[in-house]
Amino acid sequence: MKNWIPTRKEGRRRDIVRSASLTALLAVLAFVAIPYTEKLLVRGALYLIDPLWQAKREALLPSPGFGALFAEKARLIQERDALIARLAAFNAVTLERDQLKRDNALLRGIKEAYPHALPLILPVIAYPNQSLYDTLIVDLTGVPDAESRLRNFVYTNGVVIGTLTSAEENIGKVTLLSTSGNLTNAQVGSSNIGSALTGKGGGSFTMSIPFDAEVAVGDVAFIPLAQGAAGAIVSTVERIESAQESRLRLRTPVNIYSLRFVELRP
């Protein structure tokens, strides 16, 4: 069979068909691939450019100067002061609550101790360190014939601590037994030796008794004129053989610097 050689007309027709097929194929490829290619190119460009824009934005941000630092410091100080004030208020309420619990316990104890004839309860307005040394200032509101009760003994927790020495309108003054130089008859020791209890100030006393009297640290000094109530506790015993006496140091068993209420009895 002889080789077939197309004519010029047939060759031109074949070239036209080939060109049309290639054009159609390119059109299809362009329609399908170019959008994705464009997206990939855009994303790649953004990926490369974004760090540059980020750095530029950070460079354009205002730097925190002295004004910003002082403003931040002022804000922190204000926040700290607010927290301190809140904690202080909380602590104050807590202390007040605890004090009210102690006051109520004391008043309940007085009520239970005297179910039939309650003593007069006097609120303490000022105590030592707030008032004159070894003196209480008390509220006499509601106390009938307060002036007629002068020299009456004043107690707290069953311990005699002093006497009502003045009453003006609704204010009274209680002179404590421990007032410096104040003398009170007392009995101390297992044999109830009687002697003068001498106030030395600040809730302390001294007392001299015979050398051979039986007395020890922790013994209670009772006040006969105050219905035999306790008035002091022996803290030291010093025996002086040359003087044939024993010198005692005593203290009141209550804290005179934090009294809130006292009892006034006949």
Using one digit for the tens of pLDDT, what is the confidence trace for 20-68? Answer: 666 666 555 555 555 555 565 556 555 555 665 566 666 566 555 667 7
Residue 249 to residue 206: CA distance in whole angstroms: 5
Of residues 170 and 30, more confidently modeled: 170
Residue 29's pLDDT is what?
55
Average pLDDT, the chain: 79
Residue 94 pLDDT greater than 70, yes or no: yes
What is the structure's pLDDT at 59? 59
More confident residue, 234 or 150: 234
0.75 exceeded by the pTM?
Answer: no
Q: Which of 194, 192, 159, 191 is nearest to 178 (CA)?
A: 159
Q: Of 63 and 209, which is predicted with more confidence? A: 209
Distance between first and last Cα of the chain: 157
Q: Residue 158 is inside which H or E element, if any?
A: none
Task: Using DSSP, state whether 115 is helix, strand or coil.
Answer: coil
* C-alpha distances out from residue 233 to 1, 45, 64, Å: 149, 96, 70
Give domain limits for the chain. 120-266
Tokens of 114: 């005297």
User: Which residues is 135 bridged to in the sheet?
Assistant: 175
> Phi and psi (nearest 5°) for 120?
-75, 130
Decide: 183 and 197 in contact? Cβ < 8 Å. Answer: yes
